[in-house]
């Protein structure tokens, strides 16, 4: 039995894994989908004090409180930053807990990089400007059509998205790359349509050693648009 910990990306919450969780559990595994501080049903906690380390601790706290081992960490989009930081902390412990890191169309950071590091100057400027309008507290969500969603799926995601804490956007992540590279790592490349802000990561995982790359012909939110295919991939 594996313990899947599914970490959502920006503007989302644990709700976005609703169509995937039952399939993992039906296959005999445990599956958890925490909501990060300041978004989703925890949006009442939104503040300028939320930093990248806050979200890393959210996930560490779940793993510790549930006493999980044999963990498969799954990070979507921005959460590639989080699962990398979580992995670095878990691997410093005497008891091995981590089995696999799965980056779902996600950021694959180098030490010292932030979520924003590989974004274009235009994207960074737009997000900084949007955050200034909130006093530096948050960034508004994009319409879910940007993630390749249409019809009821687009409406479902748009209704649930919440502003994302801005404090995490430019926080650098310091970690031991060699330590994290000891864990099996898979990148799920969502190719249709491909989200432009993930372009550098798509190239990175194809040129650096240690990565397995799997393609899904769907948009940036496969847990919504192709939950069956994503669940099968995770189980494999």
Does the structure show a pLDDT above 80 at 176? yes
pLDDT of residue 75: 98
Give the whole-angstrom CA distance, residue 145 versus residue 49: 30
Annotated active-site residue 192? The verdict is: no
Looking at the predicted structure, is the pLDDT value of residue 221 above 70?
yes
Structure confidence by residue, pLDDT tens digits, 16-71: 999 999 999 999 999 999 999 999 999 999 999 999 999 999 999 999 999 999 99
The shares of helix, strand and coil residues in the chain, as percent rounded to the nearest 5, are 40, 15, 40
Question: pLDDT grade, residue 123 (50/70/90)?
Answer: very high
pLDDT at 128: 96
Task: Tell me how many domains the chain contains.
Answer: 1
Cα separation, 167 vs 158, in Å, equals 22
pLDDT greater than 70 at residue 127: yes
pLDDT at 95 exceeding the cut of 70: no
- How many other C-beta atoms are found inside a 10 Å radius of the C-beta of residue 73? 26
- Which residue is associated with the tokens 């050693």? 209
* Alpha-carbon gap, residue 236 to 37, rounded angstroms: 30
Q: Which residue has the higher pLDDT, 229 or 97?
A: 229
Containing domain of residue 211, as a range? Answer: 3-235
* Residue-level pLDDT at 92: 93
pLDDT at 137: 98
Residues 6+ apart with CB under 8 A from 55: 36, 37, 79, 82, 168
Summarize the confidence of residues 180-198 as an average pLDDT. Answer: 96
- Catalytic member of 43, 47, 77, 141: 77
How does 151-183 read in b/e, with b if 16+ C-beta sit within 10 Å? eebbebbeebbbbbbbbbbebebebeeeebeeb
pLDDT at 96: 73
CATH number at residue 64: 3.40.50.1820
Of the candidates 67, 92, 51, the residue with the CA atom closest to the CA atom of residue 3: 67
Cβ contact 108:130 at 8 Å: no
Does position 94 have pLDDT exceeding 80, yes or no? no
- Tell me, what's the pLDDT at 103? 98
pLDDT greater than 80 at residue 82: yes
Each residue's pLDDT tens digit, 143-163:
999 999 999 999 999 999 999
Round the average pLDDT of the chain to a whole number and report it: 97
135: pLDDT strictly greater than 90: yes
What percent of the chain has a predicted confidence (pLDDT) above 90?
Answer: 98
Between CA 29 and CA 74 the distance in angstroms is: 14
Q: How confident is the model at residue 97 (pLDDT cuts 50, 70, 90)?
A: confident
């Amino acid at each position: 039995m594996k313990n899947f910990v599914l970490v959502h990306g920006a503007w989302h919450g644990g709700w976005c894994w609703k169509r995937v969780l039952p399939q993992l559990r039906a296959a005999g595994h445990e599956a958890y989908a925490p909501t990060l501080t300041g978004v989703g049903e925890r949006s009442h906690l939104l503040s300028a004090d939320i930093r990248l380390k806050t979200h890393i601790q959210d996930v560490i706290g779940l793993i510790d409180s549930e006493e999980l081992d044999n963990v498969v960490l799954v990070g979507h989009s921005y959460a590639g930053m989080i699962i990398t930081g979580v992995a670095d902390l878990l691997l410093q412990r005497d008891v091995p807990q981590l089995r696999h890191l799965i980056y779902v169309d996600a950021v694959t950071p180098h030490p010292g990089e932030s979520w924003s590091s590989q974004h274009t100057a235009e994207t960074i400027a737009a997000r900084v400007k949007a955050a200034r309008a909130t006093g530096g507290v948050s960034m508004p969500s994009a319409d879910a059509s940007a993630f390749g969603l249409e019809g009821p799926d687009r409406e479902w995601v748009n209704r649930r998205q919440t502003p994302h804490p801005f404090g995490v956007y430019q926080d650098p992540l310091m970690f031991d790359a060699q330590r994290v590279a000891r864990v099996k790592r898979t990148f799920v490349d969502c190719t249709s349509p491909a989200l432009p802000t993930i372009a550098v990561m798509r190239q990175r995982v194809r040129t650096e050693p240690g990565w397995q790359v799997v393609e899904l012909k769907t948009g940036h939110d496969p847990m919504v648009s192709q939950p069956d295919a994503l669940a099968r991939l995770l189980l494999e």
